Amino acid sequence: MNNIQAFTRTYKYEFVAFVVNVLTAVFSFLYTSSNLAFVLTIAVFTVSIFIVIYFKTKDKDFYWLPLNKPGDEKDWVGRGKFGYVRNEECFEITDSHAGYIFPKTSNWDDYKFECLFKIANMSLGCIVRAVNLSNYVMYQIFYDRIKPHLRVNGEWIVMAESSFPGTLKPDKWYRLCVTCEKRGVRINIKDGKESLLDRHFKIPDQMGVVYREVDEKGNETKRETRLLQNVDFDFGSIGVRDHGEERAFIKDVYLEKL
């Protein structure tokens, strides 16, 4: 999707209403009296407004976020570096331990998240179902594998990684499509029209409780206990994350509620 397609989709019902009203006005002017033309034009205009309102309430929620100019990050929330890169005409995510999320989708449950991405170094972290910056699901996309993570109360729980044949090339744009439905997450990566990866993941229902211990010398140990806790990531925001040496570019973000 591009800017023109997004604009057309956003105002498609208004365009249809405009065309209908123009055709009605032309027909009334050519084939009816002035009084009848006035009444007919007002009547059609009124009916079309109510029809537009009705279909707008039935339409699916979606956002088109080009991320191709400074200031496009104003609706994103996070900590670290998420800023415009002029020579790439996109946004860079790096040195962000917590990541950045788009909170306008915080009440969405099932949705689709698409974007163009380029890995500049190591990986891109794709966030879904973010309750806040301390609780979300993240799929870390490397050149040849995907490593799922849970972030629960600020602690990281790393799940089994999934490798895929072939290798993503650095400094090359790819299209990422992530579809979340119930506890299932489908990740698709394309190079043009060619699908390089199409894989399904499952958000677990329960995980071991993670806590930290600090001894008398101040040494900290992180442990996962056998005690289970429910993992409630049934809804939440979309986002991105990279930290340390990780660095990636994104643009043309498309979000749609299913």
Distance between CA 170 and CA 156 in Å, rounded?
Answer: 26
Tokens representing residue 196 in the block: 């390089």
| Whether the predicted pLDDT of 31 surpasses 80 | no
In whole angstroms, what separates CA 108 from the centre of its chain? 11
CA angle, residues 131, 164, 190, in degrees to nearest 5 = 75
Contact call for residues 150 and 207 (beta carbons, < 8 A): yes
Reduced 3-state DSSP string for 49-66: HHHHHHHHHHCCCEEEEC
Span 143-175, pLDDT tens digits: 999 999 999 888 888 888 999 887 899 889 999
- Higher pLDDT, residue 136 or 48: 136
Taking the whole predicted model, whether its pTM rises above 0.75 is answered as: yes
Span 85-100, pLDDT tens digits: 999 899 999 999 999 9
Distance between CA 27 and CA 41 in Å, rounded?
Answer: 9
CATH top-level class of 62-257:
mainly beta
Distance between CA 28 and CA 41 in Å, rounded?
Answer: 7
pLDDT of residue 209: 64
Distance between CA 90 and CA 85 in Å, rounded?
Answer: 6
Mean pLDDT of 71-86: 93
Return the domain boundaries, the chain.
Answer: 3-58, 62-257
